[in-house]
Amino acid sequence: MGEALGWRSITGIVSDVTGDSWLVELDEPFDYEGALYQYVVITSRHEGKPLANATSVEVPCNMIRTTAERAASENPCDTSWWRGGHAMIGTVSLDAAP
């Protein structure tokens, strides 16, 4: 996916936080292999490196594509339904909103 996107950064707004999981609405949704990436659930990739550290350093993370319906649900960070596919790994860091 990195090659398909030109290795550019993906930016978005954190719209829900549940434990060490974040729901992020992407600033520029994109289509990849027929799937719209508008919302992703981000979780820490390594134990001992919580997403809360992203305020000062880049944190390794997993990113799972989710639907608008799931993003609007009572538990938008739930990924218990996920069984593979439409996921990325990378790093996350936070910038303050302008």
7 found inside a domain = no
State the average pLDDT for the chain: 91
Number of domains in the chain: 1
Query: Domain limits at 33?
Result: 12-92
**Strand order through the sheet with 12-18:** 12-18, 21-32, 35-44, 59-66, 87-92
Average pLDDT over residues 2-18: 89
User: Which of the two residues, 2 and 89, has the higher pLDDT score?
Assistant: 89
**Tokens encoding 73:** 């649900």
Residues 70-97 have pLDDT tens digits of 999 999 999 999 999 889 999 999 886 5
Is 54 inside a domain boundary?
Answer: yes
Distances in Å between the Cα of 26 and the Cα atoms of 20, 40, 46, 49, 85 are 19, 8, 23, 23, 19
Tell me the pTM: 0.90
User: Is 79 within the bounds of a domain?
Assistant: yes
